[in-house]
Amino acid sequence: MSHDPHLGFVIAAYALGFLIAAGMVGTILADYLNLKQALASLSLETRQDSLKELNRRDETSQNPDPEGLA
Amino acid sequence: MKSMLNFASPTHFLRLARVLIPVSAALTALLLGVGLYLAFFVAPPDYQQGETFRILYLHVPAAWLAMLIYCVMTSAALGTLVWRHPLADAAQKAAAPLGAGFTLLCLATGSLWGKPMWGTWWVWDARVTSVLVLFLIYLGLVALWRTIEDPGKAARAAAIFTLVGAVNIPIIKFSVDWWNTLHQPASVFRLGGPAIAPSMLWPLVVMALAFTLLFVTLYLMAIRNEILRRRLRRLSILAAGEQEPSPTRGSAWEVAYEP
């Protein structure tokens, strides 16, 4: 095989095949990780907002007149 | 139809994908390993082309997939326009970049084979030109998905574009019969059986299966990403407290991507 004058073309084709396949796999995996991270941070944000809202409601129910107007 | 919609709901798909992706990836790796071993160490050199013919173990499966992916996209486009299947949009969008990747591989390996065998990197031959048109259609579809912000509108536009572009598939397939081309006619799927010796044919079959499984694995992963992207979009809209109904709100698409 090593004596073939066109071996360079064969190597180049397989190297390119590897690069394109690795590129597709890498892009899809990176996209997946980014999406998972974004979804996780969004749900964390939503949970924190809900917690803040619950705390605010708790404080209001414990002290219905926080400014002492009554 | 209703049971099909229920079965292929995004939630069910994610559950199924979690099981199928590792299995498919392992099978792809195994078949690629076997295929490459057969292609390099078992298949004998061609009496005319020498070692250069080994490029065809990449070129032919990539060409098959370039056309197969377009057929998959055409089915998904029909799913979007006719049945309004909730997964069809995601399936359409996920296939286009993969189709572009495999078509690029087909064109590039064809060029690398053509230089030593035909004496030129490129010819404006009917088969080669129609595959280039297919590559441009894939790129056009990727651009279309990125240009239109509303996923519902983008899906419908891409579906129409896909269906119009489907006319190119029979042109690619029969170009070698309809016109006098430099590209050789079909040598595997033809009347009278394959024109390739079994020792060279089997590595090609294994490589074609490996490429198909590679596509299935990547396709499942890409559809999963699309579902997650739509959920993220939906959650972002809900989190922003947007009360105004969007044009697609309440449609099968919107309801299906509820987390």
Q: Establish if A27 touches chain B: CB-CB under 8 angstroms.
A: yes
Measured CA angle at B109 (ends B104, B114), to 5 deg:
125
Q: Which residue has the tokens 């991270």?
A: A37
Of A32, A17, A10, which is closest to residue B102 (Cα–Cα)? A17
- When scoring A3, A10, A32 by the number of chain B Cβ atoms within 10 A, the one with the most, hence best to mutate, is A10
Q: Establish if A58 touches chain B: CB-CB under 8 angstroms.
A: no
The HSE-up count of residue B195 (CA atoms within 13 Å, CB side) is: 7
CB B249 within 8 A of CB A56: no
Which structure tokens are listed for B247? 């044009």
Segments in A1-70 forming alpha helices (H): 7-62
From CA B233, how far away is CA A42, in angstroms rounded? 10
Minimal Cα distance from B223: which residue of A?
A28
Strand partners for B50: B46
Per-residue pLDDT for B259 more than 60? no
Length of chain A counted residue by residue: 70
Q: Which residues from chain A sit within 8 angstroms of residue B65, using beta carbons?
A: none
Which tens digits make up the pLDDT trace of B140-174? 999 999 999 888 899 999 999 999 999 999 999 99
From CA B10, how far away is CA B229, in angstroms rounded? 12
| CB spacing of B218 vs A24 below 8 angstroms | yes
Amino acid letter, B34: V
Task: Provide the ipTM.
Answer: 0.85
- Residues in chain B whose beta carbon is closer than 8 A to a beta carbon of chain A? 40, 45, 50-52, 54-55, 58-59, 62, 97-98, 101, 104-105, 108-109, 112-113, 115-116, 214, 218, 221-222, 224-225, 228-229, 231-232, 235-236, 239
Report pTM. 0.85
From CA B111, how far away is CA A6, in angstroms rounded? 13
Distance in angstroms between the alpha carbons of the first and the last residue of chain A: 96
- Our CA-based measurement puts residue B45 at a distance from the nearest CA of chain A, in whole angstroms, of 8
Which tens digits make up the pLDDT trace of B222-234? 999 999 998 898 8
Residue A69 pLDDT level (bands cut at 50, 70, 90): low
Minimal Cα distance from B106: which residue of A?
A17
Q: Which residues from chain B sit within 8 angstroms of residue A25, using beta carbons?
A: 218
At residue B234, the pLDDT reads 85
From CA B76, how far away is CA B162, in angstroms rounded? 9
Distances (CA, A) of B37 to B24, B129, B153: 20, 32, 46
Please, what is the angle between helix B126-147 and helix B56-78, to 10°? 50
Q: Residue range B33-49: average pLDDT?
A: 90
Dihedral sign (CA B105, B107, B112, B113): positive
Of B256, B190, B211, which is closest to residue B61 (Cα–Cα)? B211
Q: Which residues from chain A sit within 8 angstroms of residue B112, using beta carbons?
A: 9, 12-13, 16
- What is the percentage of chain B residues whose pLDDT exceeds 70? 89
Residue B2 pLDDT level (bands cut at 50, 70, 90): low
Of B157, B75, B229, B10, which is closest to residue A28 (Cα–Cα)? B229
Q: Residue range B123-131: average pLDDT?
A: 93
At residue B151, the pLDDT reads 85
Q: Which residues from chain A sit within 8 angstroms of residue B235, using beta carbons?
A: 39, 42-43, 46
- Our CA-based measurement puts residue B225 at a distance from the nearest CA of chain A, in whole angstroms, of 6
From CA B183, how far away is CA B123, in angstroms rounded? 9
At residue B200, the pLDDT reads 87
